[in-house]
Amino acid sequence: MAQPKAVRAAVVPDIAAQLDLASACIDGAESMMAAPAAAGRPPLVVVGHRGKGMNALASPDERLREVKENSVRSFNDAARVAGVGYVEFDVQVTKDGCPVVFHDNFIFTEQDGKICGKRVTDLPLVEFLSYGPQKDQDKVGRPLLRKLKDGRILRWDVRSDEPLCTLREAFEGVDTRVGFNVELKFDDDLVYQEEELVGVLQAILKVVFEHAKDRPVIFSSFQPDAAQLMRRLQDQYPVYFLTVGGTQLHADARRNSLEEAVRLCRAGGLQGIVSEARAVFRHPSAVARVKESDLSLLTYGQLNNVPEAVYMQHLMGVDGVIVDLVQEIAEAVSEFAAVVAPEPSPEEGQAGRLGLDRAAPAKKTPNFSQREISFLLRLIPELVQ
């Protein structure tokens, strides 16, 4: 049984990093401009965050409440956007052993005028699926609420509401042309024993092996032990380590920098890193260390909804971006795509790094002037704030 941790993660104020951020970006830019960073590299992979984008219920941006996140509808909406290669989503395992797609550790509802929350992994599948809209139109689901980081609890109101789904339903109901980035979700505030982690991962693998077929799949996790265990349990699908890269401090030192992430990947045979985008901008030289270690590098975070920030990451050597504004960023990426990656041969399969490390002929090289680079470098520190 997972036990509560004694120490919780602490947020590092962004302002503390701003003084040296601009100079770090400029130092990194000198090396970027000295080498043909974009030439001859496969195009940037666009990954839909929780499908067509996460639901930010308190945001004034209606695009973030367009469709229920982590639903089959949201995944298919993202798959229909030209240029989207993967959708990312969170998987937890219910009390009775069924992998389900849901981000938050707790699920909330209102009953008899009172708000109550339960841990997702403490629920049997039937109870989990009873929240929100129901597939059976004759049934009425429990009201679904969400607790925000600031403690507020809001009704989960979106324009296109959808039922919750299992991992199996995602495989069966989502366009097979889009790959799955399956985040192995664990609670940061709990300590997990290896036996418990293995049980969860094996339940997920069972569904993947039975239903993935030819769909590209990668696994990722913030939980270092889970990521390494998943690599040991199978070698068919790549495993990436998720990290905040030092933008937050954790009791587990392996989670506190890109350097630690590289070390963990090399020790465990993982194929890539998924970093908070701010960490990459704060430490541009870390990108070279990731590449020297033969690892892929994806990023996530709010910066990835800003086309200028995505441009910069492409120049720096980032392989893919996880985004909420899927349509907008996919269109922006298509405009500056430098190369077209060849289709993988059947023999290559999914081994290695998202299939992005194969040589590709240059098709179109972006022409960034010194003035444009300077503009982006001045803009990035403001975006990171």
* pLDDT more than 70, % of the chain: 77
The residue type at 217: V
> Which residues 6+ apart lie within 8 Å of 356 measured at CB?
42, 45, 296, 319, 320, 341
pLDDT recorded at residue 1: 66
Residue 310 pLDDT > 70 = yes
Tell me which of 223 and 246 has the higher pLDDT.
Answer: 223
* pLDDT more than 90, % of the chain: 72
Residue-averaged pLDDT of the chain: 85
- 170: left (phi > 0), else alpha (psi -120 to 50), else beta? alpha
Radius of gyration of the chain (CA): 20
pLDDT recorded at residue 11: 36
| CB distance 215 to 237 below 8 Å | no
Residue 343 pLDDT > 70 = no
pLDDT recorded at residue 193: 97
Tell me which of 280 and 383 has the higher pLDDT.
Answer: 280
Beta-ladder partners of 46: 84, 321
259-268 mean pLDDT: 97
Stretch among 47-51, 347-351, 352-356 having the lowest mean pLDDT: 347-351
| CA distances in angstroms from 95 to 22, 39, 204, 216, listed in the order given | 48, 49, 13, 28
78-107 mean pLDDT: 98
Select from 96, 93, 315, 304 the least CA-distant residue to 182: 93
Give residue 87's Cα distance to chain centre.
8
Tell me whether residue 180 is exposed, middle or buried, using C-beta atoms within 10 angstroms of its C-beta: 0 to 12, 13 to 18, 19 or more.
Answer: buried
> End-to-end distance of the chain based on CA atoms, in angstroms?
39
Structure tokens at 188: 């940061």
285-310 mean pLDDT: 95
230-243 mean pLDDT: 98
150-161 mean pLDDT: 97
Tell me which of 15 and 61 has the higher pLDDT.
Answer: 61
Beta-ladder partners of 119: 106
pLDDT recorded at residue 43: 85
